[in-house]
Structure 1
Amino acid sequence: MDNQSTQLDHVFGALSDATRRAIVMRLCDGATSVGELAKPFDMALPSLMKHLRVLETSGLIVSEKTGRVRTCALQPEALETIESWAATQRAIWQQRLDQLETYIETLKNGE
């Protein structure tokens, strides 16, 4: 569980930045070069590379250099950690809401 928690922290940390979320959304359309990823952002290439390193460290993307071109691709498996965590949270909160609903109905019927 500790390893999963650490992975979850890294993925949420990586996705906490709007630029990195935009990069991930762009990579949902398929792998692309760093140059193409940089086009919509008003920042220097070294700044974009820092964002890409964070995403790569978290496991959300992988990059490969072929000649002078670095290509990035999404690693959707990293999102499974978030999906699993969210499903667990959803189940917990659904149970709590069901209990609250039962309690409210008990109060209504007691009046």
Structure 2
Amino acid sequence: MKKFLVTSIALMMMSTAGFGMESVEAKENGQQEEMEQTIQLNEEQKQEMAMLYEKLFSVKKEIIQKYAEFGVISTEKAEEIVGKMEEHHKKVQESDFIPKWEHHKARKQP
């Protein structure tokens, strides 16, 4: 009986905690949409982001190549991963280094 009572209380607490998070998340999403529409990077900021992304992608490529070298993944798989990373890098550059998270919003809506 004691286990049942403790379990019931825990379930009630967890279920009510989820409702509070949804309203906070909705507010943040609304603010995020407003910010996405107004933010533009200047040329200096774009260059700085380009340098950081270039470092990021070069290190990731190096890691993938090491995995292939050590036999963790095949060379074909490594080439496929690097190809997808390069496609992503192009998309990031095309968007002027402003993140695009709209596809995540579509998943949350019923």
Query: TM class, shorter-chain normalised?
Result: 0.3 to 0.5
In terms of fraction of residues, the more helix-rich structure is 2
In terms of fraction of residues, the more strand-rich structure is 1
TM-score by length of structure 1 reads: 0.32
TM-score by length of structure 2 reads: 0.32
